[in-house]
Structure 1
Amino acid sequence: MDDRELIKKGIFATIAYAFVMSLTAIAAKQAQTVIAVSTLVFWQSLFCVLVLLPQMRGRWQKRPWSVWRIHFLRSFGGFIGFLFYYWALNHIPLVEASLLRTCAPLCVPFIVLALHGIRIPKARWLPLLIGFAGVAFVIQPTPSHLNPWHLVGFVSAIGLALSMVTTRMLSHQVSGQETLLVYFAVSCLLSIPLMLWQGDGVVVPLDVWPLVGVVVTTLYIGMFLYNKAYTYAPASIVSPVSYIGVAFSGFWGLVIWHHVPDIYAVLGVVLIFMSILISTRIARNRG
């Protein structure tokens, strides 16, 4: 199969991933009206552990502490990414929560700086400034408008950025199944003390199980499609295409909750998308 066919497959996988994850967000937003976010994270993590565990049978290898350290950082980042994203879904429109989460590429250079001490190249600052201007349009951090739940949504992007950087670090040392299994296992364990602290249990009402089922099923399928997309096509193509997820979220938010983005949110989407396009073009030229 030539590169052009692989890129087409990567684009289709990315679009499918974005659509499936928009369904995850719908089900999660509705489930959280009845159960706690930590309970939802626990069950989605446990389900994925049970699915992935048989795939790792006979494939475990002894890992040095340096690898386990990266595993934990990746798992913690993914846990924070989903936890704060789900929290934000309860308080701000779906499209805005999804947009803030997909700002993760803007945070990646700062995560790389913190982990590796690699300074941000001068050429990267223009798209970063454009992107964060877009974030400001979405959040509108004025005293009369500031909603702290927008900041919660942005924290989910920081967590996702940490998981992206550390996943890349692990990709040269362990399999994708091992990375996901360790992540979901750690996420499951981290959600337990949070449930206890909040006074919530693991019990899910019978009528909410269909929503939880949709969350865990679409999440697993989404993760599979995400990995396939990055296998078929380079990040410089997958990253901009993944922004179609914002369009899916906007559509569902309009149809189900009648949320109409204001002009500032639209401008924010445009600026953030422009920044990702410029960043990927710079990366492609340097690559």
Structure 2
Amino acid sequence: MSDLYLVKKGIYATLAYALIMSVTAVAAKQVQTQIAVPVLVFWQSLFCIVILIPQMWGKWQRRPLHIVKAHFLRSLGGFLGFLFYYWALNHIPIVEASLLRSCAPLCVPFVVLLMHRVFIPKSRWLPLIIGFIGVALVINPTPEHFNPWHIIGLLSAVGLAFSMVTTRVLSSHVSSQETMIVYFAFSALLSLPLALVQGESLALPADTWLWVLVVAVTLYVGMHLYTLAYTYAPASVVSPVSYIGIVFAGFWGWVIWGHVPDWLAISGTVLIFISVLLSARLNRQKT
């Protein structure tokens, strides 16, 4: 297969991933009017574990300590990322929550600095500054408009950034199925006591089962497509294309809830996209 053919497959996988994950967000926002976030996280994790167990049967191996630590950080980051994202979906428009979560690439250099003591090159600061100006426009932190749930949405990006960095570490040592099943098991274990502490029942009302199933299935398919996208194409291609998910989220938010982004949110989105394009160009020049 030619490199061009693989890149095209990566782009198609990314487009499919963005569309599928926008459906996940719609279903999650809808079902959370009836069940608590930790309950949703528990059931989506349990479903994905059931799907992954046959794929991992007989393939478990003893892992060295540094891989165990990477699994822990990847799972914790992924769990917090989804928890904060779902909480944000309850209180801000779906397009803004999705946009803030998609800011994870902007957070990656700071995560790398924190984890590996690798300082951010000077060439990276311009796209980072542009990107965070865009974030500020979306959040609009003025006394009249500030909504703390925007900060929760941004924290979901930080969790996702930890997940991205540690996934790269794990990818050269373990299979994607192992990474996913460890994450979902960790997520189920953490969401269970969180739900119980909040006094929530794990029993799902009959009319929520279909929504929870949609969340779980689309999440699993989306993560599989995400893995395929990064297998076929470099991150410098996948990352900018994945921002089409913001368009999908905006469409669903407009059709279902009547949310129309204001000019500040639109301007912030444009700046964030420009920052991602600049970062992708720097990555391409580096490679």
1:261 aligned to 2:250?
no
1:48 aligned to 2:48?
yes
Alignment partner, residue 62 of structure 1: 62
Unaligned runs of 5+ in 2: none
Distance in structure 2 (CA, Å) of the matches to 1:49 and 1:168: 21
Tell me the amino acid that sits aligned with residue 268 of structure 1. G
Distance in structure 2 (CA, Å) of the matches to 1:132 and 1:198: 34
1:227 aligned to 2:227?
yes
Superposed CA deviations along residues 196-252 of structure 1, whole A, max 9, x for unmatched, are 111102110001101001000100110111011011100000000000000000000
Alignment partner, residue 202 of structure 2: 202
Cα distance, 1:65 vs structure 2: 1.7
**2:4 aligned counterpart, secondary structure:** helix
Alignment partner, residue 243 of structure 1: 243
Superposed CA deviations along residues 236-283 of structure 1, whole A, max 9, x for unmatched, are 000000000000000000000000000000000000000000001001
1:13 aligned to 2:13?
yes
**1:67 aligned counterpart, secondary structure:** helix
Alignment partner, residue 112 of structure 1: 112
Distance in structure 2 (CA, Å) of the matches to 1:57 and 1:208: 31
**2:143 aligned counterpart, secondary structure:** coil
Q: CA RMSD in A?
A: 0.5
May I ask how many residue pairs the two structures share in their alignment?
Answer: 287
TM-score by length of 2: 0.99
Tell me the amino acid that sits aligned with residue 134 of structure 1. G
Alignment partner, residue 149 of structure 1: 149
Distance in structure 2 (CA, Å) of the matches to 1:90 and 1:228: 30
Alignment partner, residue 182 of structure 1: 182
1:98 aligned to 2:98?
yes
Alignment partner, residue 131 of structure 2: 131
Superposed CA deviations along residues 138-172 of structure 1, whole A, max 9, x for unmatched, are 00111221100000000000000000000000111
Distance in structure 1 (CA, Å) of the matches to 2:234 and 2:91: 35
**After the TM superposition, which segments of 4 or more aligned residues of structure 1 sit over 3 Å from their partners?**
none
Distance in structure 2 (CA, Å) of the matches to 1:231 and 1:279: 20
Tell me the amino acid that sits aligned with residue 59 of structure 1. K
Distance in structure 2 (CA, Å) of the matches to 1:213 and 1:62: 33
Unaligned runs of 5+ in 1: none
TM-score by length of 1: 0.99
Distance in structure 2 (CA, Å) of the matches to 1:25 and 1:278: 27
Cα distance, 1:58 vs structure 2: 1.1
